[in-house]
Amino acid sequence: MGFDLERFVGYVNEGLLCCVCRDVLERPLQAPCEHAFCSACISGWLVHHNSCPEDRLPLDLGSLKPLYRYMRNDLNRLQIRCVNAGQGCEVVCPLENLHTHQDECEFAFISCSNTGCPVQVERRGLEAHLSECSFRSRSCPNGCGHTLQSIDQAQHNCVAELRTEVEMLRAEMLCKVEEVRREMESRLDSQRRHMVQKESQLKSEVEELKGQLSRVMCDVRALLGAERLRRQELAEAELEKRELLELLRDLPQRAHSPTDGAAKDQR
């Protein structure tokens, strides 16, 4: 929907009116046939139609474009009354400044900022309302530290409130302690499983090392036996060598002894 034509001061060119709602264009879009529409109006129209509402030429959302610049400038320069004119606002401003004014207008109705308060008041009267609002908050005058709304002050009991708060803190602490306990148990279980796995792994490694040590000892014993046998063979060889050397030394003597006896016999 566009802006109500009655809100404008001075002449409004008919080309700046929406072809659907016949009000002044709001968030305007333009068809290839140059007819202009409010964005909301033409979107709603094209849900049920596929043509321009003015000349019935084919039209879809993808073919819509922003308004020509000179038309946008003319639109933005139009003088419009504030939407709160009925409440007494006399401001007339260019259309392009309307939203800025409405965000600051003293005659605009706004919600009370106190939680739970359903009242809406004019912006200019908000401060007065807040000073007497039944939902305004303030600290307990007895010094318990609680923030109270005016409607709750008569029923406020400092001792009961503090007892309730202590119970809540106690319950919260117990929950945290239980949470920490569970977390510690979970960590201990995880550490226990890890240690069992590590112990099993270490036992397996020890057994493997024992097997390797046993094989090494067997190899050492075999090497020692071979070494003893080699030494024994060397000793036997050395003994045979000495015997052979003695025989070799005795051979010349034995060779001369028979010859000398024969010579004596001839004489």
Distance CA 103, CA 75 (A): 20
Chain segment 101-119, per-residue pLDDT in tens: 999 999 999 998 888 888 8
Two tokens at 105? 């207008």
Distance CA 114, CA 87 (A): 24
**Residue 8, phi then psi, degrees to nearest 5:** -90, 145
pLDDT interval class at 139 (50, 70, 90):
low
Which residues have a Cβ under 8 Å from the Cβ of 8 and sit 6 or more positions away?
A: 24, 78, 79, 80, 81
H or E segment at 93? strand 92-94
Domains of the chain in start order, with CATH, are 5-104 (3.30.40.10), 109-156 (3.30.40.10)
Which residues have a Cβ under 8 Å from the Cβ of 210 and sit 6 or more positions away?
A: none
pTM value is 0.49
Chain segment 120-134, per-residue pLDDT in tens: 889 998 888 888 887
Residue 138 has pLDDT above 70, yes or no: no
